[in-house]
A and B are shown apart, each in its own frame.
Chain A
Amino acid sequence: MSRPLESADLLARLVQAAAHFPLEQNEIDDLVARGTGPLLSRLSQLARDSKDTAFVWLLMVVVTTQFPAADEFRRTHRQLRAARPGLEHRAFLEAAVRNPGGLLMGPVEMTIVTDAVIADVDFCARHTHNTGIQRVVRQTMARWTRDHEVIPVAWTSSNESMRRLEPVELARVVQYGIPFDGVVAAPRLSLVVPFNCTVLVLEVPSYGLCDPLESIAEYSGNKVGLLGYDAIPVVSADTVPDPETDRFVKYLSVVKHSHRVAGISAAATGEFAGFVSAIAAQGLTGPETISIPLPVDIPDHEITPPTGADGKPLVLVVGSQEPRKNHRAILHAATILWREGIDFRLRFIGGGSVWFTRQFDKEIAQLSKAGHSVEVLRGISDSTLLDSYQRASFTVFPSLHEGYGLPVAESLALGVPVITSNYGSTAEIAADGGCIVIDPRSDEQLTDAMRRLLTEPELGVSLRKEISERPTRTWDNYADELWAGLVVPLEASRG
């Protein structure tokens, strides 16, 4: 446990903050010479008198070492405005008494960062999990940290404040899949306070992060940009667990105060634009929404052609096992085709919540026991995934609701035809060729499409030709377009 907080610690932080207040350097020097109390008092008065809430937000963070929730911010702001002259500073000290979490850990290193681009990548930094959102964040950040000045940040363990990444965390974000050869040392807490910055929230934040992020978006003066993946937890709430919907609804409070949202497909952008229309009823304008579709590419990985005989044609299904992915319809179609005497292997790749996978696995076990060639692979490496794509005759992705549909894009990037849904983001990807689109709610259409691809070789050849003629769009293209479409306008808007 470190030593307790001392007056000099607070003074050092206030001096950092003072540089951003409308004060001459000689006045700051004079206040510093007079002590922590006089400097805090003067900054509190300036924060009260300013029309810009950013000064109040900054002073709250500096005093409490905690990013305030929006409610706490409003309470402190009102207390500050109502304070008797000369006692304004008490609003900040009392805010810290109400929220002592950060202070109890003793003094911490804190840097106020200005005029910078800060990317919140908390989940990817802490975890090795790597499906849809994490793939987008890692592919993008690997390029942005190479081509631009961007500071990746995570949050302290109690979601109190932003902090710099440890080297192992940075490697997890920008060098995923490459073994980390640095030293994994005990974490050294180094807080990052954005002031007049562009703050990018590239993931869907955890429930506990939504309060401080909402406050950053609404009060801190920073410009906040988001990646809009989808609104599935609300629009298709019937297909996801309740906590996911709760979390997403909480996240919408961040969205409504943010400044720009880049949807990963036209369909996803439409969902966020719909929400922005809805909040007019709340008297809010909401963020600008733009569409920057994800690429049709594979994750950074060396491609090696598969070796060994394959035997039966492989039908591949990539994606988490959950009701929205419509995997039971695929099992139904496969069962009918096997009964018709069409021989093929069916492989599912993807994990999922045990609440869904338990029953699904039972059905797979029954089919397998009946002599059908069907399997589920979970927790596999990217190389195994890419190998499976290359071995597949075609892939099937009849999802009921997607933000994009990375497995469709990855399949096409490897030249493998796809059966996918005829609306939303998957239809957008399919529009450039190489796919058979179907109504995912029609078992007949799905069964018929699978039957045709298994029994009409010329159809597969024709789809593969279409794929070869598709325009290319890579992760490099996406990262560049996202920077130009999301970051540059936010940078320009903060002057």
Chain B
Amino acid sequence: MGTQHEQDLSTLQKERDALLERDVDTWLDWVKTEAHGYRQFENSLSWRLTKPVRWGGDFIRKARSEGVGVATGAAISRVTSRITKR
């Protein structure tokens, strides 16, 4: 059995630990909300409709910096990877 002082310290530490846990939990809630929003955004019609345009943009940027051959190879890898994921 500890002294009153030790008991007080233990109580204070538990209270502090709970506060630290709350910080982490709040942060995790934020991560979940953001992830949910991110998924919703990725699933939105406008985002899916504009996907080919974005792919086109990526292709042009890659072709400019690394050549058409490399860009085409990357595009094929990307498509293959999408297909094999399914």
State the A residues within 8 Å of B (CB). 1, 4-7, 10, 34-38, 40-41, 86, 89-90, 93, 96-97, 100, 103-106, 126-129, 184-187, 207, 241, 243-244, 247, 351-354, 378-379
Contacts and interface: CB of A to CB of B under 8 A. Distances in A.
A108 to B, nearest CB: 13
Contacts of A352: 67
B24 interface: yes
A38 B17 CA distance: 6
B47 to A, nearest CB: 15
B24 to A, nearest CB: 5
Contact of A247 (B17, B32, B65): B65
Interface of B: 13, 16-17, 19-25, 27-28, 30-32, 34-36, 38-39, 61, 63-65, 67-70, 73-74, 77, 81, 84-85
17 contacts: A4-B28, A4-B35, A5-B28, A7-B28, A10-B28, A35-B21, A37-B19, A37-B20, A38-B21, A40-B20, A90-B23, A100-B34, A126-B74, A127-B70, A129-B73, A187-B81, A353-B67
Contact of A104 (B35, B65, B68, B84): B35
B21 A36 contact: yes
Contact of B23 (A5, A93, A103, A247): A93
Given A4-B32, A34-B17, A127-B74, A93 B24 contact: yes
B17 A6 contact: no
Contacts of B25: 7
Contact of A35 (B20, B30, B61, B73): B20
Contact of A89 (B20, B28, B39, B65): B20
Contact of B34 (A86, A104, A247): A104
Contacts of A37: 17, 19-24
A289 B38 CA distance: 45
B54 to A, nearest CB: 14
Nearest to A246: B65
B23 A35 contact: no
B22 to A, nearest CB: 7
